[in-house]
């Protein structure tokens, strides 16, 4: 082929590729706009007043298409499938308790960044913290004093995996921020344990605003750790525990763990661990759950499973009986206002 013929082919094919790229991008932009249109069959949401002081309500990130998509929304605990009231507050991850909220969100712009925003009872920003990666978990302590969040960090990893998390704890009373749990001393089997590959995520707080539980991953294994904020220590309690969630009475921890024989793509099942007896109870949910469950009350757990529009919230009894039921369609990151 002559150089001229080759250039001609190049120009023609490049033109086709450019057109394809442009059309696909424009269509995706249109579709993004479509998401602002409510869809038939999906729960409707109305803009309204949402506060953290309204009793007996369930708050969550609304995933139903429409102008309220991604907004913090509220439904009565008694009728979670009913119409939603949404606040103009965008969050990727959200949690709240006792008048304090935490919202992890994208900062927008061409190069995406993320931040953690502490919210007051009327969901107004109180303080903003830049975070070094993508949000994954967020929790507020039962008293509303402590806040924790976990993000993925890209960049600082070594030897075969770019996987790294950063978990921060903020004390809203003293205003002190502990930006990285990795600075805490890890006690494993009674001895100080050091490793460069410690990763923590999924904090859940006890009622005393000092103790907490979280996941520690090191060398491909996960552990339940019990943390002490005052002493800056983390003690491993049990292996193969991820995303713990402490029950309201502080006696049990719901968590997900890898079960033998499960397929590699769906490795996790929900369990409840009795902290006093060490007994594990398998829950009736047979699907793989990749979420930090939340106690709806002392008897029921709430967790997200992939759904048509991102995720749906399901509930299952915490005693191993019953059957899973869908609680909220197109929603994730729940918080209970009792």
Q: For binding to other proteins (CB under 8 A), which residues are involved?
A: 1, 6, 9-10, 13-14, 17-18, 20-21, 24-29, 31-32, 35, 92, 106, 109-113, 130-136, 150, 152-163, 165-166, 179, 194-197, 199, 201, 215, 217, 222, 242-243, 264-265, 290-291, 304, 306, 310-311, 332
Report in angstroms how near the CB of residue 209 gets to other proteins at its nearest: 25
How many other CB atoms are found less than 10 A from the CB of residue 178?
Answer: 16
Distances (CA, A) of 9 to 12, 17, 156: 5, 12, 44
Report in angstroms how near the CB of residue 298 gets to other proteins at its nearest: 26
- Identify which of 117, 124, 121, 110 has the alpha carbon closest to the alpha carbon of residue 92: 117
Report in angstroms how near the CB of residue 165 gets to other proteins at its nearest: 5
φ/ψ of residue 28, rounded to 5: -65, -35
Token pair 């292996």 is found at: 239
| Gap between the Cα atoms of 44 and 27, Å rounded | 25
Nearer to other proteins, 35 or 122 (CB): 35
Nearer to other proteins, 76 or 267 (CB): 267
- Identify which of 235, 237, 246 has the alpha carbon closest to the alpha carbon of residue 295: 246
| Gap between the Cα atoms of 240 and 228, Å rounded | 21
Nearer to other proteins, 85 or 164 (CB): 164
| Gap between the Cα atoms of 144 and 156, Å rounded | 32
Nearer to other proteins, 51 or 332 (CB): 332
Nearer to other proteins, 68 or 150 (CB): 150
Report in angstroms how near the CB of residue 62 gets to other proteins at its nearest: 15
Report in angstroms how near the CB of residue 30 gets to other proteins at its nearest: 8
């Amino acid at each position: 082929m002559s150089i001229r013929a080759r250039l001609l082919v190049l120009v023609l094919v490049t033109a086709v590729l450019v057109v394809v790229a442009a059309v696909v991008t424009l269509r995706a932009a249109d579709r993004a706009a479509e998401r602002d249109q409510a869809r038939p069959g999906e729960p409707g949401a109305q803009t309204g007043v949402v506060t953290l002081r309204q009793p007996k309500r369930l708050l969550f990130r609304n995933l139903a298409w429409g102008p309220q998509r991604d907004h913090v929304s509220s439904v009565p605990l008694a009728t979670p499938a009913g119409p939603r009231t949404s606040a103009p507050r965008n969050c990727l991850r959200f949690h709240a308790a006792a008048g304090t909220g935490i919202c992890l969100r994208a900062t927008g712009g061409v190069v995406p960044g993320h931040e953690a925003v502490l919210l007051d009872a009327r969901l107004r920003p109180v303080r903003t913290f830049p975070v070094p990666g993508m949000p994954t978990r967020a929790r507020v302590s039962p008293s509303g004093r402590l806040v924790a969040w976990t993000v993925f960090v890209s960049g600082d990893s070594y030897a075969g995996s770019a996987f790294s998390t950063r978990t921060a704890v903020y004390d809203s009373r003293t205003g002190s921020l502990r930006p990285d749990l990795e600075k805490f001393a890890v006690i494993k089997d009674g001895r100080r344990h050091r490793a460069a590959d410690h990763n923590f995520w999924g904090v859940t707080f006890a009622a005393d605003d000092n103790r907490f539980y979280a996941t520690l991953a090191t060398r491909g294994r996960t552990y339940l750790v019990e943390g002490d904020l005052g002493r800056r220590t983390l003690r491993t309690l049990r292996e193969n525990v991820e995303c713990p969630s402490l029950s309201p009475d502080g006696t049990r921890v719901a968590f997900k763990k890898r079960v033998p024989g499960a397929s590699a793509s769906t490795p996790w099942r929900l369990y409840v661990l009795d902290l006093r007896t060490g007994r594990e109870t398998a829950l009736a949910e047979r699907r793989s759950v990749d979420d930090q469950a939340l106690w709806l009350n002392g008897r029921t757990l709430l967790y997200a499973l992939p759904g048509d529009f991102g995720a749906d919230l399901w509930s299952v009894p915490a005693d191993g009986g019953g059957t899973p039921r869908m609680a909220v369609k197109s929603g994730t990151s729940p918080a209970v206002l009792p």
